[in-house]
Amino acid sequence: MGIRPSIDIYHTCGKKEYDEVHGVFGRVIYSPNSEYFVIRKMATAKKYGKVLLVETDSRKVKFLKEMERPEFISISNIGNVAVCNLRGIDDDLPSEVIVFNREGKACIKRKSFENPNESALNQDGSLAAFAFVGGCEYIEGHSIVIFDVVNDRSIQITPLENSVYKMHFDGNNNLKVLQ
């Protein structure tokens, strides 16, 4: 029969990766402190996707948003949620990068004709980073834009040679990027 490799599968915070709340079933992303989680339901050809913020212990829904193609979601310890809402391949509409507070209000909302491909929030939700493939409204080429969420403004734009695979803020608010 040959060699059978072993596969180790790890789940964030030791919790299940999929769940259903309020009739929405999808992938679960936990905040670093596990106080909140987001369920992301993929969009289909006929239905928009959904992003649902839930308090972990009470399972109380804080907000539910419908959007075209919610991808690359991150969440902070206070329940801020960063989402890349992608446009279709043949679509002339811009993609969006959005940061919602835990009540569902958009703190940051920017449109871009280039696709965002990753997001990150620091632990207290005051900084958000979005990576763009092929540029954004701020710069041509691959780039990362960091936003001050509290003051709704971009504070740093970094051009990159390659696209971003993953990124996150460490405990000292330094952005760690894997290309």
Query: Cα–Cα distances in Å, from 20 out to 3, 28, 62, 76, 133?
Result: 38, 9, 15, 21, 32
Q: What residue type is assigned to position 168 of the chain?
A: H
Contact 28, 20 (CB under 8 A): no
* Average pLDDT along the chain: 82
pLDDT tens digits along 121-166 = 999 999 999 998 875 555 566 888 999 999 999 998 888 888 888 8
The dihedral formed by the CA atoms of 148, 153, 158 and 164, expressed in degrees to the nearest 10: 70
Whether 1 maps to a domain, the answer reads no
CA 118 to chain centroid, in Å, comes to 7
Whether 81 maps to a domain, the answer reads yes
Contact 153, 145 (CB under 8 A): no
More confident residue, 106 or 46: 106
pLDDT for residue 135: 54
9: left (phi over 0), alpha (psi -120 to 50) or beta: beta
pLDDT tens digits along 13-24 = 444 465 666 666
The predicted model scores a pTM of: 0.83
Neighbours of 14 (CB within 10 A): 8
Whether 43 maps to a domain, the answer reads yes
For residue 71, what are the domain limits? 12-178
Whether 5 maps to a domain, the answer reads no
pLDDT tens digits along 80-101 = 999 999 876 666 677 899 999 9
pLDDT for residue 123: 95
Q: How many domains does the chain have?
A: 1
Rg of the chain, C-alpha, whole Å: 17
Could you tell me what percent of the chain has a pLDDT over 90?
A: 38
pLDDT band at 6 (very low <50, low <70, confident <90, very high): very low
**Class of residue 111 by CB neighbours under 10 A (exposed 0-12, middle 13-18, buried 19+):** middle
Whether 101 maps to a domain, the answer reads yes
Whether 118 maps to a domain, the answer reads yes
124: domain CATH number is 2.130.10.10
Query: Cα–Cα distances in Å, from 146 out to 26, 67, 127, 168?
Result: 28, 23, 7, 12
pLDDT tens digits along 72-83 = 999 999 999 999
pLDDT for residue 11: 36
Whether 3 maps to a domain, the answer reads no
pLDDT tens digits along 42-56 = 777 677 888 989 898
Contact 131, 167 (CB under 8 A): yes
